[in-house]
Amino acid sequence: MAFETFQGGHSNYLKHRIEEKVLPFFTSNLVFQDRGAKQR
């Protein structure tokens, strides 16, 4: 987990932060299972 500060308000560079920080974080930390897959 990481903590990062940036200059600006809550909405400054929002698109950039979502694309560069949020989506890569979710991609590397969330695992989705196929609904048809058998659970162990």
Per-residue pLDDT at 23? 93
Per-residue pLDDT at 35? 73
pTM of the predicted protein model: 0.55
As a whole number of angstroms, the distance between CA 18 and CA 24 comes to 9
Per-residue pLDDT at 19? 94
Per-residue pLDDT at 1? 64
Per-residue pLDDT at 24? 92
Q: Mind listing the pLDDT tens digit for each residue in 1-40?
A: 678 887 888 888 889 989 998 999 899 988 877 777 666 5
Task: Return the closest-CA partner of residue 29 out of 9, 8, 1.
Answer: 1
| Residue 26 Cα distances to 14, 18, 20, 30, 39, angstroms | 16, 10, 11, 5, 22
- CA 35 remoteness from chain centre: 22
Look up residue 32 and give its two tokens: 């989705």
Look up residue 20 and give its two tokens: 């560069």
